[in-house]
Amino acid sequence: MICVTVARTRHKHTLLEHQRLADEGAKLVEIRLDYIGRSIDLTRLLKNRPTPVVVTCRRKEDGGRWDRPEEERLMLLRSAIAMGVEYVDLEEDIADKIPRYGKTKRIVSAHNFEGTPLDLGALHDSLSKHDADIVKIATLANRFEDVIRMLDLMQNASVPTIGISMGDMGTLTRILASRFGAPFTYCVYSSERRVAPGQLTFDQMKNLYQVDEINEATKIFGVIADPVAHSYSPLIHNAAFAHQGLNARYIPFRVPRSELADFLRWGEAYGIGGLSVTIPHKESIIEFIHQAESAAKEIGAVNTVIFANMETVGYNTDYRAAMDCLTEAMAKQSTAPQPFKDKGVLMLGAGGVTRAIGYGLARRGAKVLISSRTQERSEALAQEIGGKALPWASRYDVKPDIIVNGSPLGMFPDIDSTPYDGKKLEEHQIVFDTVYNPEQTMLVKAARGTGCTVITGLQMFIRQAAYQYRLFTGKEPPVDVMMKTLQRAISPLNYRDQKSDDDAEDASTEAKQENEGQS
């Protein structure tokens, strides 16, 4: 079950958001009394509540906003219990001061916004002793090991336990809570309303991850990176799973470089089905997997890992997708059996995607030039793939048949930048920009205007994801669904302020109160 936290400064907006959540299907709502800036009217907040509630009033030292007398806080919590609320959240030091009454269930909680204690078991035992129906422990995850320990705690607890690893490293503790025995998990209505690090929104929990439908049979996949919150892969893979009715979820895993081997061992033991791999792990992961396809070995990078028969197998779908895109584009210009042979290629950038594409083109007989803003990297990569390095300032001195941008120039939010002056383009050229957000980069627009054959980053991104999907599921991917999902996600409309009038008014009120030290 999903519990949505409502933390608003005014009664009116608390009630409106509560009703809105009920209308959208929320089954449980946490009311944060400590956020309300005025004298609190419990009857107004609770009498006609549209869903069951958890009542919480958190002190500042516990990560909340309550700064009024402690006795007033205790009285509010006792009064909420007397009114028959479904749950009340109590910190350990006050749990014995507020006795059980009626049918209200007691959540005895502890929060640590700095780290995760080494002995979580001792903390859990201590909280359990205070007549707890549910134990809640929320701690900041500074390492992925902290997340693993929290999952183990939930799974092995004798008292129903909600274990939350705060921060984006602990996202899976929120999404997979029910798989590890938690009675419910927390989220917020919108990203602007987060009250703890790493909280997801109700829309993400309900629609993207479909948390309430996750069960023991749900197959888990994901993307590993550091950072990972920016990844669009969960959107497109979960949309594809849902479209085909598969009991599977795709989750973001933030894994520091130093913990990659430990994560893979955990993933194998837990039964992860497969992973997308991105920065900074594409190269380093090779030494920790059992085997890799020949192309991935030669490129020196893996972007997909499959767990099968107690082994991990690595693939490079970036390479496959890019070659498919380029082969289709070249077919419009040449019917030769070796269309890339002796073609001049200018690769802009010297990162992982340039490595994969440059490798493929060089193996097909193209003459590859690597040009990046760091000459040393260009020279190193050129030597590895059998190409030549070209100084960044000299990139206009050649007239290539194919131009590939593997640099981040032109990527959101720096959408007015371009790695190549559009006035230098020629109609006969193939222009391939691997940037997919936005799809219509400055380089792509210039190339289309010149009459070049164009390959967008969106085309490549969806192709590589489609290859991954086949490896994950053994099924043909719903490419149209994946493409439309990504296009919606990167639409400029998503960057506009969509707040309603009451949200804007509330935000203004909260800002004023914070400035005055009242909230």
| Residues 205 and 185: beta-carbon distance below 8 Å | yes
**CA 438 to CA 391: how far, in whole Å?**
27
| Residues 253 and 278: beta-carbon distance below 8 Å | no
| Residues 430 and 409: beta-carbon distance below 8 Å | no
- Does residue 405 sit in helix, strand or coil? strand
- What is the pairing mode between strands 274-277 and 304-308? antiparallel
- H/E run at residue 315: strand 311-315
- H/E run at residue 367: strand 367-371
Tokens representing 291 are 């085997």
Query: Annotated catalytic, 111?
Result: yes
Strand ranges for 170-227 from DSSP E? 185-188, 219-225
DSSP 8-state secondary structure symbol assigned to residue 385: H
- Which candidate in 89, 146, 318, 401 is catalytic? 318
Query: Annotated catalytic, 421?
Result: no
**CA 143 to CA 485: how far, in whole Å?**
32
CA distances from 275 to 224, 261, 362 (A): 7, 14, 28
- Which of these, 192, 189, 149, 190, lies nearest to 173 by C-alpha position? 149
Query: Annotated catalytic, 136?
Result: yes
Hey, what amino acid is at 136? Answer: K
- Which candidate in 13, 111, 124, 281 is catalytic? 111
- H/E run at residue 467: helix 457-473
End-to-end C-alpha distance for the chain, whole angstroms:
30
DSSP 8-state secondary structure symbol assigned to residue 143: S
Residues in the chain: 519
Phi-psi region of 514 (alpha: psi -120 to 50; beta: other; left: phi over 0): alpha
**CA atoms in the 13 A half-sphere facing the CB of 273:** 18
Handedness of CA 121, 127, 129, 133 (dihedral sign): negative
Query: Annotated catalytic, 130?
Result: no
- Which candidate in 13, 206, 237, 282 is catalytic? 282
- Which candidate in 18, 136, 281, 343 is catalytic? 136
Q: Peptide bond before 69: cis, by omega within 30 degrees of 0?
A: no
Active site residues: 111, 136, 282, 318
